[in-house]
Amino acid sequence: MNSQNILKYWGQRLKLTLDTSEFYDYEIGDSKIDFDVDVLDFDTEIVYPSLVIDSSCVDNLDSIKPWENEINKQYTGETCDFLVRKRTELGWTLDFVFNRNSLPWSSGSTFYYWGILNETNEQNYLDNNLSFSFTSDGRIKWEKYHMSGYCHTISGYTQDSYVASGQTSVLCTGGTSNDFNLTIVFRRNNQYTDCDLLNEGGVNDYITGFTINNPIDVITGATPDTETLEVINKNWLSNRDKRLGILKIYLNSRLIYKIKDWEEIVPSLRQSENIIAQIFGGGTTGSNNLHTGQTSFELVNVKYFEEPLKYPNIKHHYLSTIKPIYNITECQEGCMVIN
φ, ψ of residue 139 to 5 degrees: the values are: -115, 170
Q: How far is CA 11 from CA 3, 29, 256, in A?
A: 20, 15, 37
How crowded is residue 324: how many other Cβ atoms within 10 Å of its Cβ? 11
pLDDT at position 59: 83
Of the candidates 148, 152, 150, 151, the one whose C-alpha atom is nearest the C-alpha of residue 161 is: 148
β pairing state of 67-70 and 276-280:
antiparallel
pLDDT at position 333: 63
State yes or no: cis peptide before 49, omega within 30 of 0: no
Residue 76 CB contacts under 8 Å (≥ 6 apart), including other chains: none
pLDDT at position 283: 98
Can you say how many angstroms the Cα of residue 170 is from the centroid of all Cα atoms in its chain?
Answer: 21
pLDDT at position 80: 75
pLDDT at position 338: 64
Q: Say how far apart CA 312 and CA 25 lie, in whole Å.
A: 8
pTM (2 d.p.): 0.86
Which parts of the chain are beta strand (E)?
16-18, 26-28, 51-54, 67-70, 75-76, 81-82, 91-99, 109-116, 129-134, 140-152, 156-167, 179-188, 207-212, 226-230, 244-251, 254-263, 276-280, 298-305
Q: Which residues of the chain have pLDDT under 50?
A: 1, 6-15, 18-23, 29, 31-34, 210-215, 217-220, 224
pLDDT at position 14: 47
Kindly list the structural domains of the chain, giving each domain's residue range(s) and its CATH number in brackets, ordered by start.
6-322 (2.60.120.200)
Q: What is the CB-side half-sphere exposure of residue 289 using CA atoms within 13 A? A: 0
Q: Is residue 314 classed as helix, strand or coil in its secondary structure?
A: helix
Q: Say how far apart CA 274 and CA 125 lie, in whole Å.
A: 11
pLDDT at position 210: 46
pLDDT at position 191: 98
